[in-house]
Amino acid sequence: MDQIQTFFGYHQALMRLQQGRDFGGRDKRGKLEALSALCGELLGVDEVSVWTTCISGNSLNRVLSYRRGGGLDSSPRNLSREQLGDYFSALSAAEIISVEEVSSDPRTRSFSHCEADGGGVASLLDAPIFDGCRLGGVISLAAGQRRRWSLADIAFVTAIADSISLINSHEAWLNSRKELDYVTHHDDFTGLLNQRALRNHIKRLIEQGGKVFPEPFALLWIDIDRLNAINNGMGLHVGNEVVSEIAARLRGMLLPGKELVARVGGDEFAMLYRFPKDVGTMHEAVDAILDTIAHPIRVGEQKIQVSASIGISFFPYDGDDTATLIRHSESAMYHAKASGRRQAQYFNQDISASAKARFLLEGQLAEAIANDGLSVLYQPIMANDGRRLVGAEALVRWRHESLGFMSPAEFLPLAYEAGLIAALDQWVLERVCRDIQESRRLEAALPPVAVNLSADAIMDPSLPDRVWDMLERYQVMGEQLELEVIEDAIKGDSKVLRQTLEELVRMGIKLSIDDFGTGYSSLFRLKSLPFTKLKIDRSFINDLPRDVDDCAITLSILGLARGLGLEVVAEGVENREQEAWLQEQGCDYLQGFKYHRPMSIERLRELLVPA
């Protein structure tokens, strides 16, 4: 009965401690200190220490020690499984180690050889602390004089060990919640808040504002201009560096009114802006953001000039809910991008109508690609004499049900922005292969056909496999195709690009650079990549031979091509004067309305098969 009464006394003291207002407000260490002090004073032991196991479970590290009359000691101590194998095994088996004589118990006799805990300890009462099923530590009661531990002592130290286990579990739960909250609300690449966190914050701002006089704020949707071109031309690692640097700049901006910054897409960020009193204006804030982004970014030895387009919507004027504000700011951003990039656009209803039309058109274009709703026309390419048809260029067209025939200039930018350009390229290439196969069946063999490929397509490592599959499926020889890429697509030194081009050449396909002279490509890049042809952009041909500058540019391109062993096509030839000048300068091939306009495959076959 005395043992029971003693334990009840211990238990009541423990309950008073844990239920006290002061205990609940302490951190984990403060709670361990209080439990150790209570245990030491109630049981009258010389020392109470709390230990934790390392991750491997092969050592115990002391967290703290409480000595009666000496207070707390936080100096580090360590015990290893190698020294105390039986002791560790007993704890792992969930044994309460109740030892009256340390030196005679096989579980603890090695303690006398441990320098850290050496002599002075006659009796031990140790209880394991578990984190779930794993041994997480131990609470150890040490007496300098031999002591027989009572059932009340053993029950009480077990209760203390259980309390510590609960504290550990609660701390682990809190940490996991913090980690989950971070993962749920942050972008793992930049560390900025993500779109979920942005939406939640906008919702809170709207709900906090008064219904009669809500506090206005602005949502800025920021898109890095031409990041795809950077990725394709210079490599994905360079694009990632650009995104990381822009994120750091936006995060670090000391901009009055900046509420938060979030990354909401691969190349898109959002900023919430509250209007500070008497500190600058919205226009000044936007200019500061554009200037901050426009500062050159250094990646290795390269300096990259980056710009951004910004769309802005205001609460409550442009929307009184989260979805509408985001939609309107994003629409304004697209309008800014379409208006010339590196500028900001405030939302208005005209933009809303334009955005709806654009969204509808995107869906219709995707449907046209998927359901063979496009067409391919062919524009012949002539030899230098202007009489012999030696090739053709495939040109995609879209006959919209209400807008009529649309030129590539009208819908290709839409395909780029909507992420449809790669699918469009593949559709055109497959259609050309089908036309080559059908023409062969009709005994009207086509000359080599040039097909334009976007930078997105040419940087895709799977392109050679897909091209080879088409050649096999339609029984087309590689020599019957020529693939054209714009100049900017090859400005980066990419192993992926080089490997892709070389694999295409091994299939017999010829490669040419389209619109040469309008982009950037070094002589080294031209020399090291397997191109065989250049196409001079029509903008340099329009005013030949009257414009001195255009003559000089065209002559330099022709000279460069000869030096590198490349053939040259002049596109946009429309009159006899242009033709004569180009023939005199030795241009290899001519293309333009002077000879033929783009035509259907049927009309092209008629040209190839004389009546």
- Could you read off the pLDDT of 152-162 as tens digits, one per residue? 888 888 888 88
SS (H, E, C) 47-83: EEEEEEECCCCCEEEEEEEEECCCEEECCCCEEECCC
Please identify, among 316, 347, 378, the residue that sits at the C-terminal boundary of a domain. Answer: 347
Residues 410 and 289 in one domain: no
Residues 178 and 315 in one domain: no
Q: In this structure, is residue 353 part of a structural domain?
A: no
Q: In this structure, is residue 189 part of a structural domain?
A: no
Residues 460 and 562 in one domain: yes
Write down the pLDDT at residue 116. Answer: 43
Q: In this structure, is residue 190 part of a structural domain?
A: no
Answer yes or no: is pLDDT of 387 > 80: yes
Banded pLDDT at 230 (limits 50, 70, 90): confident
Determine the Cα–Cα distance for residues 245 and 227; give it in Å rounded to an integer: 13
Residues 437 and 288 in one domain: no
Residues 171 and 200 in one domain: no
Asked if 156 and 125 touch (Cβ cutoff 8 Å), the reply is no
Residues 149 and 59 in one domain: yes
Q: In this structure, is residue 354 part of a structural domain?
A: no
Q: In this structure, is residue 37 part of a structural domain?
A: yes
Answer yes or no: is pLDDT of 203 > 60: yes
Residues 312 and 382 in one domain: no
Residues 399 and 432 in one domain: yes
Provide the CATH number for the domain around residue 238.
3.30.70.270
Banded pLDDT at 486 (limits 50, 70, 90): confident
Which of the given ranges, 45-49, 74-78, 227-231, 418-422, has the highest pLDDT on average? 45-49
Q: Which residue has the higher pLDDT, 59 or 489?
A: 59
User: What is the extent of the structural domain holding 374?
Assistant: 360-608
Residues 401 and 338 in one domain: no
For the chain, percent of residues with pLDDT exceeding 90: 33
Candidate from 17-26, 44-53, 469-478, 527-536 with smallest mean pLDDT = 17-26
Write down the pLDDT at residue 351. Answer: 55
Omega before 76 within 30 of 0, i.e. cis = no
Please identify, among 312, 347, 382, the residue that sits at the C-terminal boundary of a domain. Answer: 347
Q: In this structure, is residue 352 part of a structural domain?
A: no
Q: Which residues contact 42 (CB under 8 A, 6 or more apart)?
A: 9, 10, 13, 156
Over residues 286-293, mean pLDDT: 92
Q: What is the pTM of this model?
A: 0.51
DSSP annotation string for 96-154: -EEES-GGGSTTTGGGGG-TTT-SS--EEEEEEEEETTEEEEEEEEEESS--PPPHHHH
Answer yes or no: is pLDDT of 28 > 60: yes
Predicted confidence (pLDDT) per residue in 75-133, tens digit: 888 888 888 888 888 888 888 999 989 888 989 888 765 544 445 788 999 999 988 77
Q: In this structure, is residue 376 part of a structural domain?
A: yes
Predicted confidence (pLDDT) per residue in 347-363, tens digit: 876 655 555 556 667 77
Q: In this structure, is residue 236 part of a structural domain?
A: yes
Banded pLDDT at 585 (limits 50, 70, 90): very high
Classify strands 59-67 and 78-80 as parallel, antiparallel or unpaired: antiparallel
Please identify, among 298, 316, 347, the residue that sits at the C-terminal boundary of a domain. Answer: 347
Provide the CATH number for the domain around residue 157.
3.30.450.40
Residues 73 and 31 in one domain: yes
Q: How many domains does the chain have?
A: 3
State the amino acid at position 37 in one-letter form.
A
Task: Look over the chain and give the mean of its residue pLDDT values, rounded to a whole number.
Answer: 85
Residues 105 and 199 in one domain: no
Residues 34 and 68 in one domain: yes
Provide the CATH number for the domain around residue 534.
3.20.20.450
Side-chain-side CA neighbours of residue 475 (13 Å) = 6
Over residues 10-29, mean pLDDT: 83
Predicted confidence (pLDDT) per residue in 490-517, tens digit: 655 557 778 889 999 999 999 998 877 5
